[in-house]
Chains A and B, each alone.
Chain A
Amino acid sequence: MNLQVDFLLDSERRSGSTVSRKFVVRLAAVVIPVILLGLFAALVTTYQASKNDLGLVEQEKKQIDPEHKKVVNLEKELKGARDLKAAIQGWSDSRIDAYRLLRGLQRAAPPNIQLTQWVFSEKTELVGGVFGRTAGIYMKGKVAGERPEADVQRLYQALKSEPPFPDIMAEVAVKRFAASEGLAEPGGRVFDIECILKPRLLVLPVSPAAKPK
């Protein structure tokens, strides 16, 4: 029977490792706070740098702001001026050429037709949500000759198809065609024609699709 007796005290024991546990603990006690401090210093430096960056950009913005505001105001003024010009131009462009209208009427009326009244009336009103000029023409006349119906028909066709009417007329209608007892010539007729003109907008629509027909 073997008996092994260990006479070494605990304090006398030595580890086989080259690095002692005590050293590791001491090293860790120094390195970990150093690393933490380093990270904290890096954080503080980055924070300061970001603060400085922000300060610089804010400073730059402060310097640029008055000029920027000036240009923004300029943009507003330009928009206002454009609107004003468009309004004046719109009023000018939307007017009916009364000279061409009368000349066209002179050309359109056959010699046998005598107009007894010719009324043109224009209004400024909302047309499909946009302000525009709307107008109508009302004419009364009498017609003599062998074929009064054909003459009125010719006037009606001219009002629909001869220049300048196709560009300006939206609707032409013979409202009345009747015998007149008042006319000396037998077979004489009286007639009324009503025309509605295409609306002319005071402000041009942005897209052609918005234009009323």
Chain B
Amino acid sequence: MAPMTLTKQQIQLWAIGAIGAAIACFVIIQFVVVPMVNSLKDNRKNTLALREQLDKARDVIGTGVGLQRDLSRIRADIGVLATNIPLPVLGNYLLGREQQIRSCCAEVNMKVASVTEYDVLAVSGWNSLFKIYRVRVVGQTGINNLARCFHAIQKRNPLMSVTAINITPQDGAPDIQNVSFVVSWLIWADPDKRPAFLLESAKKMPAPTTAPKR
């Protein structure tokens, strides 16, 4: 093979060409290939992450029917329980509660002297949706009748509870005692802001005239 003899000018041209090619290669690698490779890596990473999210989302969507069924069942249960939560009549809770107490006391022939509003307790630390409405009942009766009265009260409404009792004897009448007790009801803190599904069902159904039994 004949050795290539290059003139000085040719060598210079080759050198410039080689340097130009090296610069072009560097520019292409630095500004085209590397960003493209990085972008490719990012795309693959994002695709993988999105696919995982999609798989999870599909799993979640798969539970939708079951969730809807559970929600309907629980709302129905709450609907039944909520019928025992009294609603005010023109802002008044006492009238309806007094009627309930007096009818329970009448069932056992208990003499009721007074039924008065005791207080309304905020229990926001427990649940901000509710308050406790309390009524004080004063009367005279025997222990047997009082126990039966409590039985009637508790049976009538599972959310009604006796939270204070005071029994003192009457002079000259050993079978009759002076009794006073406090009955508490769970009420909505703001009846107009109770859960929407209860408001909807209340619109559909007329309000119950008597509290359902347990």
The residues of A with any CB-CB pair to B shorter than 8 Å are 10-15, 17, 20-22, 40, 43-44, 46-47, 50-51, 53-54, 57-58, 60-61, 64-65, 67-68, 70-72, 74-75, 77-78, 80-82, 84-85, 87-89, 91-92, 95-99, 102-103, 105-106, 114-122, 124, 126, 131, 133, 135, 202-203
Contact = CB atoms under 8 A, between A and B. Distances in A.
B146 A102 contact: yes
B71 A74 contact: yes
Given A14-B1, A84-B129, A91-B130, 19 more contacts: A10-B5, A20-B1, A22-B1, A40-B33, A53-B43, A54-B43, A60-B54, A65-B57, A88-B186, A89-B81, A92-B158, A98-B150, A98-B181, A102-B147, A102-B150, A117-B167, A118-B168, A119-B164, A124-B121
Nearest to A105: B143
Contacts of B146: 102
A56 to B, nearest CB: 9
Contacts of B144: 106
Interface string B34-70: 0011011001101100110110011011011001101
A103 to B, nearest CB: 5
B7 to A, nearest CB: 15
A68 B74 CA distance: 22
B164 A84 contact: no
A92 B150 contact: no
B70 A78 contact: yes
Given A50-B40, A81-B71, A97-B154, A72 B168 contact: no
